Amino acid sequence: MTDASSDSLLDGYQRFRETRWPAERAEYEELARGQHPHTLVVACSDSRADPALIFDTAPGQLFVVRNVANLVPPYEPDGRLHGVSAALEFGVRVLEVSRIVIMGHAYCGGVGAMLRGSPANCQDFIAPWVAQGTPVVRRIAEEVEPDQVERAAEEAIVRLSIENLRTFPWIAEREAAGKLVLSGLHFGIADGILRALTGPGRFEALAVD
């Protein structure tokens, strides 16, 4: 059993209750009546790239889906277990978000597994999961200089996920109607710079005032 006296999670909860909860209690009570996030974010599970921190958002503003390498699989309603697709369906069809953001990041282990293979002890789930992006990143690796491979591959997965979003009919329909915007971003862990997909193959740093 974890020793509560040295548990960093419980320490964080204590700070939350002592500082944030009193100041934001009314907001949480309002959120208890229902959530109305404006944006759905598909991000990587990597502990260094937390959307809520990067975008400095309050509870209730983002509906976040996190997985290895921020991947969106193609639309495939086959009755099997599809966690990402289920979250997309809820966010788009029930919560009616107005924006979906795919956020990749630097030093992504999932993309690294696509380039170099999954760890030998991660073949049950990681290997088949990242395999969906492997052809794309390996093609990219042949087209760019060696020192550009990692970034180019991470950006390629953002573009792939956006392409796959458009295979969902209820996403494509809303985008065509101007009710839903699809965006791609890449976060630099070492420099803190957020780059946005601005055109085919182009990511540009967002200006900061």
Distance CA 93, CA 150 (A): 35
d(CA 209, CA 26): 31
- The domain that contains 159 carries what CATH number? 3.40.1050.10
170 with 184, same domain: the answer is yes
162 vs 29: CA distance, rounded Å: 35
Query: H-helix or E-strand containing 39?
Result: strand 39-44
Residue 199: band (very low, low, confident or very high) from pLDDT cuts 50, 70, 90: confident
pLDDT in tens, 135-180: 999 999 999 999 999 999 999 999 999 999 999 999 999 999 999 9
Q: Which two tokens stand for residue 188?
A: 């630099």
pTM over 0.75: yes
Co-location of 100 and 27 in the same domain: no
User: Residue 2 has what pLDDT?
Assistant: 53
Q: What is the pLDDT of residue 34?
A: 95
Residues 110 and 68: beta-carbon distance below 8 Å: yes
| pLDDT, position 100 | 98
Q: Do residues 204 and 111 lie in contact, with contact meaning Cβ atoms separated by under 8 Å?
A: no
> Given this model, what pLDDT does residue 207 score?
81
Residues 176-193 as b/e (b if ≥16 CB within 10 A, e otherwise) read eeeebebbbbbbbeeeee
Flag whether pLDDT at 1 surpasses 50.
no
pLDDT band, residue 42 (cuts 50/70/90): very high
CB atoms within 10 A of CB 31: 14
Average pLDDT along the chain: 95
Tokens for 164? 């796959």
Domain that holds residue 123: 36-205
Handedness of CA 34, 40, 46, 51 (dihedral sign): negative
Does residue 28 sit in the same domain as residue 116? no
What integer pLDDT is reported at residue 200 of this predicted model? 74
Looking at the structure, do residues 16 and 51 belong to the same domain, yes or no? no
Residue-wise pLDDT tens digits, 179-196: 999 999 999 999 999 999
Q: In the numeric block, which tokens belong to residue 6?
A: 């040295």
**pLDDT tier at 4, thresholds 50, 70, 90:** low
Look at residue 7 in the predicted model and tell me its pLDDT.
92
Residue 116 has pLDDT above 50, yes or no: yes
Q: How many domains does the chain have?
A: 2
Q: Are residues 128 and 26 in the same domain?
A: no
What pLDDT, on the 0 to 100 scale, is given for residue 5? 57
Give percent above pLDDT 70 in the chain: 98
Q: Looking at 17-26, 185-194, 198-207, which range is the least confident one?
A: 198-207
pLDDT at residue 25, as a whole number = 93
Portion of the chain with pLDDT greater than 90, in percent = 93
Please report which residue ranges of 60-200 form alpha helices under DSSP H.
83-89, 109-116, 126-130, 134-143, 149-165, 169-176
Do residue 7 and residue 81 come from a single domain? no
- pLDDT for res 202: 87
- Do 156 and 184 reside in the same domain of the chain? yes
Q: Cα dist. 180→29, 47, 55 in Å? A: 28, 28, 19
For residues 69 and 58, state if they share a domain. Answer: yes
